[in-house]
Amino acid sequence: MALANKYRPNSFSEVIGQENAVVALRNIIKNQSFHNGYIFSGTRGVGKTTLGRLFAKALNCTNYDAEKGETCNVCSNCVEIQKNSHLDLIEIDAASRTGVDDMRELLESVQYRPSQGKYKVYLIDEVHMLSPQSFNAMLKTLEEPPGHVIFMLATTEANKIPKTIVSRCLQFNLKLVSDELIAKNLKRVFTNEKVATDDKSVDLLVELAKGSVRDSLTLADQAISHCDGNLTEQEVSKLHGVLDISSTTKLFEAIFSNSIDDVISEIKRYKSLDVNYDILFDRALSFLHANMVNNVLSDEESNQDLHLYYQFFTNGLIDAKQTGNKRDCFDIAVLRCLTFSEQSKNKLKKKPKLVKKQEPKLTASKEEPQKIESPEISIKPVEPLGDISSKKNGIELSPDNWFGLFEQLDLSGPSRAFFSNLQLQKVEKKTLFFNGIALFAERINEEDSINLIESLNRLGHEGYSVEVESSETVKNTPSQEWIKNRNKDIQEFRKEIINSELLMNLKENFGEEITEDKIIIIDHEE
């Protein structure tokens, strides 16, 4: 039997990492305060369907201990639910039954009373896959359900469930399980299975699991088979294509020192070893985030580079998800970092304006003040959408002026990276409505919103709240504006090359002439 099935929790006390949800479910049963429906949302492998089954078992257990909050696991209802053979627990995979006819057929049985237990429970997995017509059919039942029926909806994409359904359900957002808890659980499993292992191999499996208990057990199954019951860091790394974590540090040291040969050598090595590029992306972003937060590189310009590098790898991750070519997207992200390395001897790479545009509060050079400050100077005030607060900074808070205002915000780290990829759609009733592709919209958390609100307050735009919605496409984001401006810089630099002393000498001494159309600049966005 697979470890993920063998070690699936049989009681609330065995569930790890979801204490808040477990406490709430126990109190619901204790107080008999039932809702018509419950939504369990979260990424894969964190316990959505497991909690649904445990809740269904607790509802129908004839010997449920309300004080301890545990089922007996010996009555007929508990035993049959554990075996997935209970008549009153109906489990449906919405991914394979999306049609309205399937839902109507299912709901026809709602009127019939339970055959064995006290409650008839409908556990619908991946409920977001249902069609709009199916949701409408379900809505009618949720509005006036029989007292003996409870719906439990599990999903990895709660944002796709209609708000009419969500408003009639009690929702539990399950979080990623901490690395410490997953490591502890894996060690317990390995001990029970009499599998020899070491801490480093366990840590590697934990990193690969990314907060998913089920994934950690599946990976453990693979490792046990590959290593024949004797797990070592070397063998687990070989199985999953994971390099030593020092490899990431080595790569960025080469980037920081502008060692082109070392960088190229590293990315070639990754290709030859067929490494796990998901892990490489995660480690690169974690490395950059840690350096920005802890201010490891003390001077401001190096910090600017870190912000730029973080943006490159974030964009690379987006491209990787869209194209499926993770290796090339990672390589391009690395080469972009190298191209814009602060220590590069290339004239284009040394231009400070290409970096300083990301943090306009830095003092601009006297030679090019207009280029540095152009985003602010060029802004033409427009009629704002909705109410506008204080203008102490001189720029109205509106979609048309968002880029100019964003340049003045003192956001940093992930918050700056996230909001730079969002489009300010409208401003209404002290609320900022943003659009962003799913990768950014879904990762924006409360802390990011608070950081933006506080930064706006310091500029005189007080009392605002933030709403973020997912969109397939966005336009006019700060990130897109930076790219446009950089393309202009490249064109200017191309003209500078034509008039350079080097090309003048080439023409005079050798009769060779290079025209602007013959100059090819390999740009990071091309």
- Tokens for 396, please give them: 């109205």
- Which of 94-98, 243-247, 406-410 is the most confident on average? 406-410
- Over range 147-166, report the average pLDDT: 90
User: What stretches of 138-257 adopt beta strand conformation (E)?
Assistant: 149-155, 170-173
CB 46 within 8 A of CB 156: no
- Over range 416-420, report the average pLDDT: 79
Q: What is the pLDDT of residues 302-354, one digit of tens each?
A: 467 778 888 888 888 888 888 888 888 888 888 888 777 654 444 333 333 33
- Over range 14-21, report the average pLDDT: 90
Cα(371)–Cα(356) distance, rounded to whole angstroms?
10
Q: What is the pLDDT of residues 423-477, one digit of tens each?
A: 888 888 888 888 887 766 666 677 778 888 888 888 888 888 888 888 877 788 8
Q: What is the pLDDT of residues 247-262, one digit of tens each?
A: 788 888 888 888 888 8
Q: Which residue has the higher pLDDT, 190 or 293?
A: 190
Q: Which residue has the higher pLDDT, 384 or 118?
A: 118
Cα(310)–Cα(221) distance, rounded to whole angstroms?
34
- Tokens for 390, please give them: 């204080």
The CATH topology of domain 179-240 is Helicase, Ruva Protein; domain 3 (1.10.8)
Domains 179-240 and 246-350 fall in the same CATH topology: no
- pLDDT score of 358: 36
- pLDDT score of 386: 41
Q: How are the residues of the chain apportioned to helix, strand and coil, as percentages rounded to the nearest 5?
A: 55, 10, 35
Q: Indicate whether 414 pLDDT > 80.
A: no
**Kindly report the CA angle at 298 between 292 and 299, in degrees rounded to 5?**
105
Banded pLDDT at 184 (limits 50, 70, 90)? very high
Whose CA is closest to 121, among 106, 101, 99, 104? 106
- pLDDT score of 363: 33
Residue 306 φ/ψ, nearest 5 degrees? -60, -45
- Over range 480-506, report the average pLDDT: 74
Q: Indicate whether 60 pLDDT > 50.
A: yes
406-435 burial by CB neighbour count: b if 16+ within 10 A, else e?
Answer: bbbbebbbbbbbbbbbbbbbebeeeebbbb
- Which of 20-29, 351-360, 440-449 is the most confident on average? 20-29
Number of helices and strands (H, E) in the chain? 25, 8
Q: Indicate whether 171 pLDDT > 70.
A: yes
- pLDDT score of 487: 75
Cα(290)–Cα(310) distance, rounded to whole angstroms?
11
Q: Indicate whether 40 pLDDT > 90.
A: yes
Q: For the domain 246-350, what is the CATH code?
A: 1.20.272.10
- pLDDT score of 379: 35
Distances (CA, A) of 501 to 344, 351, 417, 491, 497: 21, 18, 39, 18, 9
**Kindly report the CA angle at 512 between 510 and 517, in degrees rounded to 5?**
160
Domain locations in the chain? 3-173, 179-240, 246-350, 381-476, 481-518
CB 297 within 8 A of CB 291: yes
Report percent pLDDT > 70 for the chain: 81
What count of other Cβ atoms lies within 10 Å of the Cβ of residue 85?
Answer: 9
Cα(452)–Cα(410) distance, rounded to whole angstroms?
9
The CATH topology of domain 3-173 is Rossmann fold (3.40.50)
- pLDDT score of 490: 76
Cα(317)–Cα(286) distance, rounded to whole angstroms?
13
Q: Which residue has the higher pLDDT, 25 or 102?
A: 25
3-state secondary structure (DSSP) of residue 173: strand
- pLDDT score of 235: 81
